[in-house]
Amino acid sequence: MASIPKPTVNRPPSHPDFRSLRPPSHLPVSARFRPTGQVSVILPVYNNQACIQKTFETLLPYIAEHPNYRFIFVNDGSSDRTKDILAAGLYATKARQIELLSYSPRVGKGYAIRRGIEYTDGDIICYLDGDLTYSLAHLDILVEKLRSYDVVIGCRNLARGNGKDLKLGQKIARRVFNLLAHKILNLNYRDMQAGLQGFRKEAAQHLFSTQELTGSSVEIELIYLAKKWGYIIGEIPAKVSTQRSPNRAPANLLQDLSRMLIDLLKIRLNDCMGLYR
């Protein structure tokens, strides 16, 4: 990467600056988890102007009922009005539980989440797609599951009704990807691509300080690293919303499979080269 974009931050004046990532002293963290109840949620966004206002408005009643939750939008170099809409919403509502990080140019979803991780202070850290492909109702389930696990991942295969609208080619692509992930990375989880994951703080800081991918395959890289480092991984049903973002690009199955195969090979190569330390 030629240069690393520096984010601008919309935040309350009293909030602390970025803090560096520090790996935990030993693994796993399950036995020494002592939560205080603070939950940080990262929402990576890119060119979501068609739905971002609705996402923001959906958060307002949620934070009123969940005073211990803090949401961080990370704008990954959007070229539309996503940043402006969010900034206007923050200015109008003065919502202290919602913040915005923004940088340019675009780097990728993995990088966006990593920048968000640097800015969190919760004992529990979650992320979900900024268009709310997975509703906020999943968060309480993630948090509850994290009482027993270090990392929790969303699994679309566990949720009833998911996949009914998928075309045959999309169903085949999912199966092919899972097979490739098993063969290349020796991973046997039922779904490794849902943009819905939760972590205990020390696990999140450690995993994101070692992961390398900046793009959309960050989910599977994190699962691979969590398994590599001995973290206990749990799964929850991930129900896909019927009101997904209207600006999501249509799937190009061959192109997507090719990209995912390359990313799987990158993960394996990174590990062989000793980059995951």
More confident residue, 62 or 259: 62
Q: What is the mean pLDDT of residues 195-208?
A: 96
Residue 160 has pLDDT above 90, yes or no: no
Buried b (16+ CB within 10 A) or exposed e, 240-259: beeeebeeeeeeeeeeeeee
Residue 164 has pLDDT above 80, yes or no: no
| Residue 166: band (very low, low, confident or very high) from pLDDT cuts 50, 70, 90 | low
Q: Is 171 buried (19+), middle (13-18) or exposed (0-12) by CB count in 10 A?
A: exposed
Q: What is the mean pLDDT of residues 166-186?
A: 85
pTM: 0.85
Residue type, 91: Y
| Residue 140: band (very low, low, confident or very high) from pLDDT cuts 50, 70, 90 | very high
| Of 119, 42, 122, nearest in space to 75 by CA | 42
pLDDT value, residue 122: 92
| Of 267, 162, 171, 249, nearest in space to 211 by CA | 267
pLDDT value, residue 173: 82
Q: What is the mean pLDDT of residues 43-63?
A: 97
pLDDT value, residue 174: 80
| Residue 19: band (very low, low, confident or very high) from pLDDT cuts 50, 70, 90 | very low
User: Mind listing the pLDDT tens digit for each residue in 85-104?
Assistant: 999 999 999 999 999 999 99
| Of 118, 75, 86, 144, nearest in space to 205 by CA | 118
Residue 196 has pLDDT above 50, yes or no: yes
Architecture of the domain made up of 35-272: Alpha-Beta Complex (3.90)
How does strand 196-200 pair with strand 151-155?
antiparallel
User: Mind listing the pLDDT tens digit for each residue in 231-263?
Assistant: 999 999 999 887 655 555 555 778 888 899 999
More confident residue, 159 or 19: 159
More confident residue, 148 or 166: 148
Token pair listed for 238: 């991930």
Contacts of 11 (CB under 8 A, 6+ apart): 99, 100
Residue 17 has pLDDT above 60, yes or no: no
pLDDT value, residue 157: 83
| Average pLDDT of the chain, as a whole number | 86
Contacts of 8 (CB under 8 A, 6+ apart): 101, 102, 103
Q: What is the mean pLDDT of residues 135-144?
A: 96
Question: Are the C-beta atoms of residues 161 and 239 closer than 8 Å to each other?
Answer: yes
User: Mind listing the pLDDT tens digit for each residue in 110-128?
Assistant: 999 999 999 998 999 999 9
